Structure 1
Amino acid sequence: MSETATAAESATRTPSGRVALAAADARIPLGPLDGRYQRAVAPLVDYLSEAALNRDRVAVEVEWLIHLTSHRVLPGTVELDADQQAQLRAIVTGFDAGSVAELAEIEKVTVHDVKAVEYYLGRRLPSIGIENLTSLVHFGCTSEDVNNLAYAMGIKGAVQNVWLPAARALVAKITEMAQTNRGVPMLSRTHGQPATPTTLGKELAVTAHRLGRQLKRVENTEYLGKINGATGTYAAHYVSVPSADWEQVSRSFIEGLGLTWNPLTTQIESHDWQAELYSDMARFNRILHNLCTDVWSYISIGYFAQVPVPGATGSSTMPHKVNPIRFENAEANLEMSSALLDTLAATLVTSRWQRDLTDSSSQRNIGVAFGHSLLAINNVLGGLDRLDTAEDVLAADLDQNWEVLGEAIQMVMRAEAIAGVPGMENPYERLKDLTRGQRVNAARMQDFVSGLGLSADAEARLLALTPGGYTGIADLLVNHLRD
């Protein structure tokens, strides 16, 4: 840096002399979800961002105020008219960038995010003509009464309106591929070695079925909530208004938000439902990760051909390459998401005595965990859309591995022995000697079958059998995806 650099320029430089990027532009993102991948995860911002959390906090406070007045829970209160209720709810629907900035300014003074929300709402009551109800804002609430409900609403919205639709679209795509390829024979590889053939469609159906089961678990998530005071005892509620049935007030309010009432809590809602949800999502991630590694491997041996994207670069130095980057990217993001979901599931079920703040910091990463999963789902969808099944490669691979019929032959020999056909002793050992550690072509296999002394029907069945025809009812098993 020159001696003529101004003080302002100096202030924006690091000790190494480089420009401090954060000082130059505070909007520069730290993480990839807010930078490189922002477009892919943008739908989650409306549910799991800090701004969305604050909007939902305002929504909880507004609905609590309306609930208390509508049911005249406190003596002396009257029900708000329809216009007043609409104006209160407009505070939520009109929550925007200016609202975010105003809340931030209030929080600089309160040094407390939920208290800032209370003051933010209180400022708006005079314009509605209900400034006399300022004391009713946040009535009987501890911060966690508002927070747990706001988080539950945001998470429910993110799951039902963003994550589940994307996950369902992915499962539908895999199901479609399973149906299309249900009759395409494929050599199996157990332990990485040639094994009893299957069909490509049946193997894809296995994954679709596994993922579908996890979706059902996520779809059945119970989103719990509580509003019962500082230690879950309604102590402040009953000492201030002993005539009210506070449990019923609490339950009807929470159920009115579309959540499930949790009757027994400490200061915090116990977050067990969150842990259950995150475990199910992490399991979905890991099954999808398994698909990514399998598809990547099938691409590497030529079972799938990748359709090139016009203008795209596969390798910076090798122009012939079309790399399976979408599946590799998905693997990494699934691992990141699952690690975060595992941590959240493990952390959120524990709170010291009646309250500690570990959950406060942990829950701020929910959006990150969802974002990496959503990004991975989108990448897998894009990758699958660019695949063509190379049926000729699949067929050639099967034709090179006639030894996999060894299982079929020895099982027929066992059945023949039971039926009393002589000379069927030691079928496993005889096929092991023929096939283990060596390739067997069609002619050699058929010569072996012809010399076994099988019944005419059994011999005819085996002589007509090929690796590509030895797939059992694999194509019919795909029908289970309709169940």
Structure 2
Amino acid sequence: MTNKNNEYSIKAISPIDGRYSSQIDQEINNINSEFGLIKKRLYVEIKWFIFLSSLKPINKKFSLNKSEKDYLLKINKNFDIKDALKIKDIEKITNHDVKSVEYFLKDKFDKHKTLKNKKELIHFCATSEDINNISYALMFKESRDILLKKLNDLCRIIKKYEIKYADTSMLSRTHGQKASPTTFGKELKVFTSRLDKQSLFMKKRSVFAKMNGAVGNYNAHHFVLPEVKWNVETKKFLKSIGLEQNQFTTQIENHDWLSESLNDITMISNILLDFSKDMWIYIMLDYIKQKNIKTEVGSSTMPHKVNPINFENAEGNLEITTALSQSISKKLMSSRLQRDLTDSTVLRNLGVIYAHFYISISSLIKGMNKIDINILKINEDLNVSWEVLAEPIMTVMRYHNVDNSYDIIKQATRGKEINQDTIKDIINKSDLKNTIKNKLLKLEPKDYIGLAKKLTTKKN
């Protein structure tokens, strides 16, 4: 990072552009910044112009040759910061962000010997929201690919631990109390299974857009060119740029798909929050050791500490992600009558959600890369937790029709100090056959893991 960038970063109000700027994929910035939005608007205007020029009877007046098409595509390909600043300068005069893009494009047409005579087709029959909703839809798709790739990177790391510790017995805890043993790998499998499902929902969700004019009725389109099947042609246009058509809209695209997509992010974030908290607790229990980085400081006053900062950082960023996702998802579901402008400022914060989501995943990846499993401590806790065998003893007694099985075990174990001798005594005093007693007497907490290993190694 250059000194100039460092200065900008240290003066930034948002930690996204400040402290955490180096932790974000720069493509997230490029796509969702003001520059990214302007560039995407320009792209949509150019693609719409090219599409219109091929339609009958428009092509009789505005058909394009290969040279003209190449010129138009280069405008977008070569678009840079200087161009974006020119558009911002135009906006100072027009006080309209989309119209400024149109005027910028017209200026480019004026510099071409033949296109200058076709510039009135720019933004033809389009309302600003036609350009905007398509731009945001395309920006979301590109951002989604980056976010899901990062999430997949995290899941891949978790799955390595999952397989490695598929048969590593560990006490489970329900209500914070000791419960039936599980394996460390299986508990990780719970999370990767949930994440795989939700990420697939997010990936497969269709992204919709509209190109139907001022209030969604093709008013201008139909009045000027009634012979064109506009709903069919605009569907073709949207499909050509990778979007589905929403046929029934007001001036704005209804945002339902976007609200659903933000709910996908909320779902995944909440799963990751659950994961972060569990990892934090395993660290607290000393089941997980964090690798000591010699140059790092854990506490300004307690030199011995190695804090779970990556999991805590992830937790904080996930809380922000879910708060913004839920708030914006709810807001986008309504707009007064055929349009109000409140969604405009809200949509500009989508990149903020994506950035915090990305930062949280990055933090979890860092955290996972710095852990070791403390087998000694896990086994130590198992070896002093014989009370967890109350369940299998009671279940066997029930199966063999021993009267009051539950109450017998409850009276012998609930709220009492239980050790191996206690368990042996319960088994020996039971009315079970000796062969069954012998099987129970051989059972240790570490062996009582059911199908945990098999479940862990099973594909979803």
TM-score normalized with structure 1 length? 0.91
Does the residue aligned with 2:179 lie in a helix, a strand or coil? strand
2:425 equivalent among 436, 440, 447: 447
Give the corresponding residue for 1:457: 435
Give the corresponding residue for 1:30: 13
Question: Per-residue displacement from partner, 1:439-466 (whole Å, max 9, x unpaired)?
Answer: 2111221122122131233212211111
Whether the aligned pair in 1 keeps the contact of 2:9 and 2:19 (CA below 8 Å) is: no
Q: Map of 1:40-59 to 2, 5 A cutoff?
A: 40-41=23-24, 42-59=26-43
Whether the aligned pair in 2 keeps the contact of 1:289 and 1:334 (CA below 8 Å) is: yes
Supply the distance in 1 between the matched residues of 2:293 and 2:357 (Cα, whole angstroms).
Answer: 24
Supply the distance in 1 between the matched residues of 2:152 and 2:247 (Cα, whole angstroms).
Answer: 33
Whether the aligned pair in 2 keeps the contact of 1:282 and 1:337 (CA below 8 Å) is: yes
Supply the distance in 1 between the matched residues of 2:170 and 2:366 (Cα, whole angstroms).
Answer: 24
Question: Per-residue displacement from partner, 1:237-287 (whole Å, max 9, x unpaired)?
Answer: 111122222112211111101000111110000000000000011010011
Supply the distance in 2 between the matched residues of 1:75 and 1:318 (Cα, whole angstroms).
Answer: 75
- CA deviation after TM superposition for structure 1 residue 26, in Å: 11
Question: Per-residue displacement from partner, 1:404-438 (whole Å, max 9, x unpaired)?
Answer: 10011000001111xxxxxx221111111221112
Letter in 2 for 1:463: L
- CA deviation after TM superposition for structure 1 residue 27, in Å: 8.7
Q: Map of 1:244-323 to 2, 5 A cutoff?
A: 244-323=228-307
The runs of 5 or more residues in structure 1 that have no matched partner are 1-23, 418-423
Supply the distance in 1 between the matched residues of 2:57 and 2:243 (Cα, whole angstroms).
Answer: 21
2:225 equivalent among 234, 241, 246: 241
Give the corresponding residue for 2:46: 62
Whether the aligned pair in 2 keeps the contact of 1:402 and 1:439 (CA below 8 Å) is: no
Give the corresponding residue for 1:149: 134
Q: Which moved more, 1:239-248 or 1:206-215?
A: 239-248
Give the corresponding residue for 1:125: 109
1:98 equivalent among 74, 78, 82: 82
Supply the distance in 2 between the matched residues of 1:288 and 1:57 (Cα, whole angstroms).
Answer: 34
- CA deviation after TM superposition for structure 1 residue 97, in Å: 0.9
Q: Which moved more, 1:404-413 or 1:471-480?
A: 471-480
Structure 1 pair 33–124 and aligned structure 2 pair: CA distance change class (3 A): same
Letter in 1 for 2:225: V
Does the residue aligned with 1:188 lie in a helix, a strand or coil? strand
Does the residue aligned with 1:471 lie in a helix, a strand or coil? coil
Identity of paired residues, percent?
A: 37
Supply the distance in 1 between the matched residues of 2:403 and 2:57 (Cα, whole angstroms).
Answer: 86
Whether the aligned pair in 1 keeps the contact of 2:9 and 2:17 (CA below 8 Å) is: no
1:364 equivalent among 336, 348, 351: 348
Give the CA RMSD over aligned residues.
1.4
Supply the distance in 2 between the matched residues of 1:122 and 1:442 (Cα, whole angstroms).
Answer: 85
Whether the aligned pair in 2 keeps the contact of 1:72 and 1:79 (CA below 8 Å) is: no
Supply the distance in 2 between the matched residues of 1:51 and 1:74 (Cα, whole angstroms).
Answer: 32
Question: Per-residue displacement from partner, 1:290-340 (whole Å, max 9, x unpaired)?
Answer: 011111011011000000123111111111110000011111100001100
Question: Per-residue displacement from partner, 1:45-65 (whole Å, max 9, x unpaired)?
Answer: 122111111100000000001
- CA deviation after TM superposition for structure 1 residue 397, in Å: 0.5
Question: Per-residue displacement from partner, 1:100-150 (whole Å, max 9, x unpaired)?
Answer: 111110100110000000001111113333011111000001100000000
Supply the distance in 1 between the matched residues of 2:435 and 2:350 (Cα, whole angstroms).
Answer: 63
Give the corresponding residue for 2:412: 434
Give the corresponding residue for 1:113: 97
Supply the distance in 2 between the matched residues of 1:203 and 1:231 (Cα, whole angstroms).
Answer: 52
Supply the distance in 1 between the matched residues of 2:57 and 2:90 (Cα, whole angstroms).
Answer: 30
Letter in 2 for 1:347: K
Whether the aligned pair in 2 keeps the contact of 1:72 and 1:78 (CA below 8 Å) is: no
- CA deviation after TM superposition for structure 1 residue 472, in Å: 0.3
Give the corresponding residue for 1:232: 216
Whether the aligned pair in 1 keeps the contact of 2:166 and 2:457 (CA below 8 Å) is: no
Q: Which moved more, 1:268-277 or 1:471-480?
A: 471-480
Letter in 2 for 1:32: P
Structure 1 pair 107–445 and aligned structure 2 pair: CA distance change class (3 A): same
Give the corresponding residue for 2:64: 80
**Which consecutive aligned stretches of 4+ in structure 1 deviate over 6 angstroms post-superposition?**
24-27
Supply the distance in 1 between the matched residues of 2:14 and 2:41 (Cα, whole angstroms).
Answer: 25
Supply the distance in 1 between the matched residues of 2:445 and 2:14 (Cα, whole angstroms).
Answer: 50
Whether the aligned pair in 2 keeps the contact of 1:416 and 1:455 (CA below 8 Å) is: no
Whether the aligned pair in 1 keeps the contact of 2:62 and 2:118 (CA below 8 Å) is: no
Letter in 1 for 2:397: M
Supply the distance in 1 between the matched residues of 2:66 and 2:436 (Cα, whole angstroms).
Answer: 82
Question: Per-residue displacement from partner, 1:45-97 (whole Å, max 9, x unpaired)?
Answer: 12211111110000000000100112344263243122221211111111111
Does the residue aligned with 1:266 lie in a helix, a strand or coil? coil
- CA deviation after TM superposition for structure 1 residue 156, in Å: 0.5
Supply the distance in 1 between the matched residues of 2:59 and 2:413 (Cα, whole angstroms).
Answer: 89
Does the residue aligned with 1:194 lie in a helix, a strand or coil? strand
Q: Map of 1:315-394 to 2, 5 A cutoff?
A: 315-394=299-378
Structure 1 pair 392–412 and aligned structure 2 pair: CA distance change class (3 A): same
TM-score normalized with structure 2 length? 0.96
Letter in 2 for 1:306: Q
Does the residue aligned with 1:264 lie in a helix, a strand or coil? coil
Whether the aligned pair in 1 keeps the contact of 2:10 and 2:18 (CA below 8 Å) is: no
Whether the aligned pair in 2 keeps the contact of 1:330 and 1:379 (CA below 8 Å) is: yes
